[in-house]
A = this chain, B = another copy of it.
């Protein structure tokens, strides 16, 4: 069985390659795991020896099928645990990420299946992140963000791509949760600002950087 260190490495490689090209650089991997780059290199060489990753020296690293299986299983645990903590234990959605970071390594498949059933087989976690299926299928979908979508169109928030407690608290306070509806009334790239308007509230400004972390879909029907 892979240690929780190994699980964290594999999960972060998966996360960092989501959507992007397949090779993850040592620099970004080390930063994501909060270790120095040399540590990541050493570890990746060990993981390559064990068949979890393919390492292109000085280029980057990618998951093998076996590494991807482990990574998806850990990610599934992480996101189902987050959902449990928010939906059942009513915890603050900004704090559950840190909890799940530990629990994802301690939960058995048996417990996970029962949690999944208890929750009604959810497709996404509280942040809108897709939950990999038991079989290891990750429903990857490309969405526009508040930084890239069309202006003045009714939108629904589907996902917040940023796990830090600060950002999530900010989103919560401004009613920017998955499910809420809004539209972007204007955008000023020079100033780096977007103006948004949510249902019950008045217009507010948002940095383009923050806007890019909030994914939306056009409100149809």
- Contact across chains for B90 and A114 when beta carbons are under 8 A apart: yes
Question: Of A98-106, A132-140, A192-200, which stretch is located at the interface?
Answer: A98-106
Alpha-carbon distance A90/B118, docked complex (angstroms): 10
Alpha-carbon distance A107/B89, docked complex (angstroms): 13
Binding site for B on A (CB under 8 A): 85, 88-91, 95, 99, 102-103, 105-108, 110-111, 114-115, 118
Alpha-carbon distance A105/B106, docked complex (angstroms): 8
Cβ 8 A contact of A91, one of B85, B90, B95, B110: B110
**Residue in chain B with minimal CB distance to A117:** B89
In the complex, besides A91-B111, A95-B110, 12 extra interface pairs with C-beta distance below 8 angstroms are: A88-B118, A89-B111, A89-B115, A89-B118, A91-B110, A99-B110, A99-B111, A102-B106, A102-B108, A103-B103, A103-B107, A106-B106
A85 neighbours in B (Cβ, 8 Å): 111
Most B CB contacts (10 A, CB to CB) among A102, A111, A118 go to A111
- A-B residue pairs in contact (CB < 8 Å), sample of 17: A85-B111, A88-B118, A89-B114, A89-B115, A89-B118, A90-B114, A91-B111, A91-B114, A95-B110, A99-B108, A99-B110, A102-B106, A102-B107, A102-B108, A103-B106, A105-B106, A106-B106
